[in-house]
Amino acid sequence: MEKIYKFVEKYSISIIITVIVLTVIMGYFALQIDIEAGIKDMLPQNSPVVKRFEDVSDTFGSLTYTAVMIHDDEILDQSTLQKIEAMTQDFSEAKGVSDVISLTNIKDIQGGAGGIKVNEFIDKIPETASEIESLKNQLSSKEQYVGKIFTPDFKNSMILVKFVDQEEPEVVVSRIRNIVKEYEGPEEFFLAGTPVIVTDATNYMKRDLSRLLPFVIAAIIAVLYMSFRSKRGVILPVVTVIISVIWALGIQQLLGKSLSMISTVLPVLLVSVGSAYAIHIVARYYEGIKEGYEKNEAVKKAIENVGIAVIMAGGTTMIGFASLFFSDLIIIQDFALGTTIGVGIALLVSIIFIPAVLINLKVTQKSRDVKELKLTQNIFNGIESLVFKYRKPLLVLVVLIIIGSILVIPTIKTESNYIAYFQKGSTTRVSTNLVDERFGGSQPVDVVIEGNIKNPELLKQMRNFQEEAVKLPYINNAQSMVNIFREENMALNNTREIPTTRNQIAQYLLLLEMSDKELISNYLTFDYQNTRIQMTMEMVSSTKQKEVLGELEKLIDKYFGEEFKAEITGVPSLSLEINDRIISGQIKSLISAVLFTLVITSLLLKSIKRGFFTTLPIAFTVLVNFGLMGILNIKLDIATAMIASVAVGIGVDYSIHIFTRFIEENEKLDNPAQALKTSMQTVGRANLYNAAAVIVGFSVILLSSFPPLVSFGGLTAFTMVVSFFGALVLLPVLILSAYKMSDKKDLLDND
Amino acid sequence: MQKKYFVILSIMIVGLFVVTSPTVLAITGEEVLDEVDKTLNSNTRRSEIKMTIVNENDQKRERTVEIVSKGDNKGLVQFLAPADVEGTSFLTLTEDGEENMWLFLPAIGNVRKIASHMRNGSFMGTDFTYNDISMLGGSDYRSDYQSNLAGEVEYDGKTCYLLESQPTDQDIQYSRMKMWVNKANYVPLKMEFYDQEDKLLKVMTNKNIKNIDGHLTPNEITMENVQAGTKTILSLSNVKYNVEIPDRVFTTRYIQQ
């Protein structure tokens, strides 16, 4: 610590200039950072589920699409059809779009003198009422399009816009939105599909956070001013967080990373967390000034006395965030990287930049007689009497809370379906529900089967499977070669039977290939060896998704069994994979966060016992966090899955500060009770300022209209309250109890 | 100075004219086609053709057909392999300048007349259209296209007549065609087909030309769709000319047997 001080004293001006210059450079890069919203990008590229999804997309065409639903009193009238035709054209020409399917370009297999004829269903837009009527009759008989491209009442029509796989979905979605805007009215348009939902979620997050960030900063400034009653007490912590936010974004951009939906909370998180280190340094500096030290001496004291605790606190916070690297989701790993970097920068700035600034500032008389608020006094007196008078009831209460939490934890459900993020009545939810209701869903579920389509047994089982599959809840629109053959037979022989011999199938195929090569390439590979069944699924919760996909698996076993290899893929499979990884990642990162925190605190405090005591309150906090989630029925999703690790990282700081001060004081006083009181009164204050800043910061997010942000902000604020009291009440209670029980004075001395 | 420049320019223009103008060449486009016709056509022809269809991902499908033709108005294609399409037949008859096509699929039954709109469709899933195939089968190319001789060019080390043709038949999907005909023997070596937007659509090349029974016969014909990235290779074997083929072979009744 001595060395740090000397370094800062010697180079204070250079440090200030370097930090400012670097911040400007980083700011330039930070402004260029992208936000990404692909659901596939959340999973690692080597995941078998992602691989299958991509393989199927490569073979049969993209599985990522947006459903554009048009609602009008009559979709077949001239103006609406012309609109659909023009939109189909515009969508096809949009960059990132691979294919468009609409009422004006769907293919029809027709019978006739020349065998069959495949052409566009609507080659001429009907003009008269009788033409419309006859088109309606034709369309109504086409089972593969009814309920998929249009509703039987001809009031709704669907345009499916498929995406090029490599393209960023949110960019394509915004292009599609722009096109839709041009054509709006009198027809109504509704957009659905995973790309739309994920994009909307990201945009909501972005919008709410950028709106709320100024309020978060203002709230923290207010808390800081109430705490320090001085300008530099406010400005220095705020500057610290601004620098760390800019650097964190800039470095991520330089590393080629982009922000995801969840890392948009990064600025808020860093504003709340990053200010802590500055607060402790500045608070100790003021303590020194009050005691009458010279400014350089006060800075030196601050670095020497809280430097180690700040480094430890920052280190454990970094570990808490870094533990999220153990998540199996890329999106959370990226978040871990960004926050770990940000916290590291905030730590560095607090230890080096702030002292460098303080050395170059004059000590005003004002800073020597800063008055404290009555409220703060009362809080600390209250806490003190609580700890010393009600030690045993408190212990009982804590044990009860622990038991209660453990009991409700198994009831926590996971959720990876984004639609759950939207309030009822929001445009996104309304559109999705309408599309589900009228067209049976906007999420593709595909079954890919290895087996030669010319095998009549396979074709028969595909038909049986499809018939059963659409009876499952939320599964609709099963389409495959079965339907094409049925249409073909309808055209040839006026019956919807599927061909039953190998030769028949081969010749049906030959006839189709002669008529339209593309028609079958959607369902069948060139070598006839792989075929797929396309279905759609409605937007439902992960729990229901899991049930339905499980039922589908059973049907696959029943109909394809050993003979043919069949697998499910599609967006629900991806989102279930995310769901599973949320849990496995949660367990891994929690265990590692707690363990590493234990290791670090044990090492720095040179005792496993000390490390254990410091870690205990935060373990309690994590338990209570899950307990609350269980009671309030808050689901574990990609946002809430991070809270436990965030809580460990941030919350353990309070315990560290209390504990290091306690050891310092106990060595001086050789009286644990008195040492505890002093620690609570001194460093406890810095803890309070810090906790208040973090809690107020996160509470501002509660104002968001976006539910996942509300639960994230609320739960984080809550865990901060718990960990603050964990450090100021539970930890002293534990320390006192330990001394009382063992009757040994050297209990917490070095091992 | 001015004058000298003018003289050079005149010589260049005249030179260009001499090289490109068909009127200066000894032979016209139509006459070249006459010679091509003589070279390719025969009274009767029988051959086995292996069709290799290659998609844009380089995956292949193989089919073998037997093609018999008589004069320039009768043609029959019958599938030999794979077994599941064996017996599938495709008959072309031209009567009074009108071309009729029939298809028979044994597992589906009934001979079906192919409507004229399908002639630009894919022939059996290959990159050839029905029209392309019937052209190969010796149907009268001159009646469907108006051809001009654009000049003489080098192709594949051979001096060739370059023909440029516009379809006269409304039903043909191409906007124009180019044909490279070997000057030495009147065998077409390459053809380019352009779509309605005048972009190159397909390229056909004739290779491995052998003299069979006095007829110069390309034994490998490749049609490449440059826009789709697909191609079809036809490999000829057992080619026989002037064999006895009774007329009853070219009837719808015969192909159903």
ipTM comes to 0.80
B117 with A525: Cβ contact below 8 A: no
Give the per-residue pLDDT at A751: 44
The identity of residue A736, as a single letter, is: L
- The pLDDT tens digits of the residues spanning A488-519 come to 888 888 888 999 999 999 998 888 887 777 77
A526 with B57: Cβ contact below 8 A: yes
Count CB neighbours of B227 within 10 A: 11
Query: Does the CB of A510 have a partner CB in chain B at under 8 Å?
Result: yes
Cα A715 from Cα A712, distance rounded (Å): 5
Give the per-residue pLDDT at A410: 87
Query: Does the CB of A455 have a partner CB in chain B at under 8 Å?
Result: no
The three-state secondary structure class of A417 is coil
Q: Is the peptide bond before B82 cis (omega within 30 degrees of 0)?
A: yes
Residues in chain A: 751
- Nearest Cα neighbor of B256 from B81, B9, B89, B98 is B89
A515 with B121: Cβ contact below 8 A: yes
A514 with B113: Cβ contact below 8 A: no
Those residues with Cβ within 8 angstroms of residue A344's Cβ, 6 or more apart along the chain or in another chain: A314, A318
Question: Which of A114, A502, A508 is the closest to B113 by Cβ?
Answer: A114
Q: Is A402 in contact with A722 (CB distance < 8 Å)?
A: no
Give backbone dihedrals phi and psi of A738, rounded to 5 degrees, phi first.
-60, -45
Domain A432-479+498-573, architecture per CATH: 2-Layer Sandwich (3.30)
Chain B residues in contact with A113 (beta carbon < 8 A) = 112-113, 115
For residue A557 the two structure tokens come to 């076993």
Cα A694 from Cα A723, distance rounded (Å): 12
- Nearest Cα neighbor of A539 from A421, A639, A630 is A421
Restricting to A residues 519-538, those with a Cβ less than 8 Å away from any Cβ of B are 525-527
Query: Is residue A244 classed exposed, middle or buried when 0-12, 13-18 and 19+ CB atoms within 10 A define those classes?
Result: buried
- Nearest Cα neighbor of A681 from A161, A364, A287 is A287
The terminus-to-terminus CA distance of chain A in angstroms comes to 23
DSSP-derived secondary structure for A244-294:
HHHHHHHHHHHTT--B-TGGGGHHHHHHHHHHHHHHHHHHHHHHHHHTT--
Query: Does the CB of A507 have a partner CB in chain B at under 8 Å?
Result: yes
- Write b or e for each residue in A604-614: b if 16 or more Cβ atoms lie within 10 A of its Cβ, otherwise e: bbebeebbebb
Mean predicted lDDT score pLDDT of chain B: 80
- How far away is chain B from the Cα of A572, in angstroms, using its nearest Cα? 29
Q: Is A723 in contact with A258 (CB distance < 8 Å)?
A: no
How open is the CA angle A242-A248-A249, to the nearest 5 degrees? 95
DSSP-derived secondary structure for A575-640:
HHHHHHHHHHHHHHHHHHHHHHHHHHHHHHTT-HHHHHHHHHHHHHHHHHHHHHHHHHT--B-TTG
Cα A42 from Cα A552, distance rounded (Å): 25
Q: Could you give the angle at which helices A194-228 and A266-290 cross, rounded to 10 degrees?
A: 10
**Residue A568: alpha-carbon gap to chain centroid:** 25
- Nearest Cα neighbor of A195 from A288, A65, A72, A297 is A65
Q: Do the domains A373-411+605-751 and A432-479+498-573 sit in the same CATH topology, yes or no?
A: no
Query: Does the CB of A325 have a partner CB in chain B at under 8 Å?
Result: no
How open is the CA angle A350-A352-A355, to the nearest 5 degrees? 80
A117 with B122: Cβ contact below 8 A: no
Q: Out of 1.20.1090.10, 3.40.470.10, 1.20.1640.10, 2.60.120.260, select the CATH number for domain A373-411+605-751.
A: 1.20.1640.10
Domain A1-32+229-371 annotated CATH 3.40.50.1370: no
Greatest Cα pair distance, chain B, in angstroms, is 82
Comparison of pLDDT for A734 and B134, the residue scoring more: A734
The three-state secondary structure class of A151 is coil
Give the per-residue pLDDT at A8: 77
Query: Does the CB of A207 have a partner CB in chain B at under 8 Å?
Result: no
- Residue numbers of chain A with a pLDDT score lower than 70: 37, 111-117, 364-373, 743-751
Chain A residues in contact with B114 (beta carbon < 8 A) = 114-115
- Nearest Cα neighbor of A357 from A282, A291, A253 is A282
With bands split at pLDDT 50, 70 and 90, how would you rate the model's confidence at B5?
very low
- Nearest Cα neighbor of B240 from B210, B212, B207 is B212
For residue A8 the two structure tokens come to 């800062």
Give the per-residue pLDDT at A365: 59
Query: Is residue A562 classed exposed, middle or buried when 0-12, 13-18 and 19+ CB atoms within 10 A define those classes?
Result: exposed
- Write b or e for each residue in A36-67: b if 16 or more Cβ atoms lie within 10 A of its Cβ, otherwise e: bbbbbbbbeeebebbebbbebbeebbbbbbbb
Give the per-residue pLDDT at A447: 93
Give the per-residue pLDDT at A644: 85
Q: What are the residue boundaries of the structural domains of chain A, listed by start?
A: 1-32+229-371, 61-198, 373-411+605-751, 432-479+498-573
Q: Which of A507, A511, A529 has the highest number of chain B CBs within 10 A, making it the mutation to test binding with B?
A: A507
- Nearest Cα neighbor of A114 from B101, B187, B207 is B101
Chain B residues in contact with A502 (beta carbon < 8 A) = 84
Count CB neighbours of A616 within 10 A: 18
Query: Does the CB of A375 have a partner CB in chain B at under 8 Å?
Result: no
pLDDT at B124 over 80: no
Q: Is B45 in contact with B58 (CB distance < 8 Å)?
A: no
Give the per-residue pLDDT at B16: 39
- Nearest Cα neighbor of A686 from A725, A657, A643, A651 is A657
- The pLDDT tens digits of the residues spanning A123-135 come to 778 888 888 888 8
- How far away is chain A from the Cα of B254, in angstroms, using its nearest Cα? 19
3-state helix, strand, coil in chain A (%, to 5): 70, 10, 20
Chain B residues in contact with A525 (beta carbon < 8 A) = 59
Chain A residues in contact with B59 (beta carbon < 8 A) = 525-527
- Nearest Cα neighbor of A297 from A358, A369, A253, A222 is A358
Query: Does the CB of A677 have a partner CB in chain B at under 8 Å?
Result: no
Interface size between A and B, measured as CB pairs under 8 A = 71
Give the per-residue pLDDT at B18: 39
What average pLDDT does this structure show over B47-52?
92
With bands split at pLDDT 50, 70 and 90, how would you rate the model's confidence at B1?
very low
- Bridge partners (DSSP) of residue B180 are B162, B190
For residue B44 the two structure tokens come to 């009767």
For residue A363 the two structure tokens come to 């000590």
Chain B residues in contact with A109 (beta carbon < 8 A) = none
Chain B residues in contact with A114 (beta carbon < 8 A) = 103, 112-115, 117-118
The reply to whether the predicted model has a pTM over 0.95 is no
- How far away is chain A from the Cα of B57, in angstroms, using its nearest Cα? 9
Comparison of pLDDT for B39 and B1, the residue scoring more: B39
pLDDT at B3 over 60: no
Question: How far is CA B20 from each of CA A643, A662, B24, B35, rounded to the nearest angstrom?
Answer: 80, 102, 8, 21
**Residue A694: alpha-carbon gap to chain centroid:** 21
B88 with A505: Cβ contact below 8 A: no
Chain B residues in contact with A454 (beta carbon < 8 A) = 84
Q: Tokens 């599909």 — which residue?
A: A193
For residue A516 the two structure tokens come to 């339209």
- Write b or e for each residue in A289-310: b if 16 or more Cβ atoms lie within 10 A of its Cβ, otherwise e: beeebebbebbbbbbebbbbbb
Give the per-residue pLDDT at A306: 81
Q: List, in order of start, the domains of chain B with CATH numbers.
A: 28-255 (2.50.20.10)
DSSP-derived secondary structure for B131-172:
HHHHHHTT--HHHHEEEEEEEEEEETTEEEEEEEEEE-STT-
Restricting to A residues 103-162, those with a Cβ less than 8 Å away from any Cβ of B are 112-115, 117
| Of A471-480, B90-99, B128-137, B188-197, minimum mean pLDDT range | B128-137
A506 with B107: Cβ contact below 8 A: yes
- Bridge partners (DSSP) of residue A99 are A162
Query: Is residue A667 classed exposed, middle or buried when 0-12, 13-18 and 19+ CB atoms within 10 A define those classes?
Result: exposed
- The DSSP letter of residue B195 is -
pLDDT at B137 over 60: no
